[in-house]
Amino acid sequence: MSTKNIAGKTIEVNEEGYLLNMADWTKEIALELAKEINLPPLTDKHWQVIDYLRKNQAEGVALSLRKVGNSGIVDVKELYALFPGGPLKKSALVAGIPKPASCV
């Protein structure tokens, strides 16, 4: 665990940079994180995915690519285009939720 100064706030993150408390998240933080991992500029679709992830996380729903692909917001192919190189890991990072552990 460590802390990080981002978008004018000091927040707690884990070794991989995922926010420890999803309540610390703000849109400004998301923008900074997206820049750090070299995402293309965030579009409406990005924000819709981020909202979806945060809402489901808050409800305790386990997230997977399939789940997001069935959300009606994007299909899996589009998700890859929005968050290239590991869409679930990257979208979760930007959304300020833990890295999805869909696998055991």
Partner 1 sequence: MKKLVILGAGSAGTMMANHLAKTLPKSDWAITIIDQYENHYYQPGFLFIPFGTYKEKDVVKPKRKFIPKSVEFILAQVSKIMPEKNMLELKGGQTINYDILVLATGTKIDPSELPGAQEGWHKDIFDFYTLEGAVALHQRLQSWKGGKLVVHIQEMPIKCPVAPLEFSFLMDSWLRKKGLRDQTELIYVTPLSGAFTKPTCSVALTHLLTEKDIKLVPDFGTERVDSTAKKLHSFDEIEVPYDLLVTIPTNKGDEVIGRSGLGDDLNFIPTNKHTLQSNAFPNIFALGDATNVPASKAGSVAHFQAEILTENILHFIKGQPLKPDFDGHANCFIESGNGKALLIDFNYTTEPGFGTFPFPALGPMQLLKETRLNHWGKLMFKWIYWYMLLKARPIPFITAKMSLMGKKTAKEAKK
Q: Which residues bind partner 1 (CB under 8 A)?
A: 62, 64-67, 70, 76-77, 79-80, 84-87, 89, 101-104
Give catalytic residue positions.
103
Amino acid at 12: E
User: Which residues does 68 contact at the CB level (< 8 Å), separation at least 6?
Assistant: 49, 52, 53, 74, 76, 79, 87, 88, 91
- Calculate the alpha carbon distances from 14 to 29, 40, 43 in Å: 15, 24, 27
Q: Which is nearer to partner 1, 87 or 96 (CB)?
A: 87
- Reading the block at residue 80, the tokens are 């890859």
CB of 30 to partner 1, least distance (A): 22
Instruction: Please identify, using beta-carbon distances, which residue of 43 and 70 lies nearer to partner 1.
Output: 70
In the complex, least distance from residue 72 CB atom to partner 1, rounded to whole angstroms: 12
How near is the Cβ of 44 to partner 1 at its closest, in Å? 21
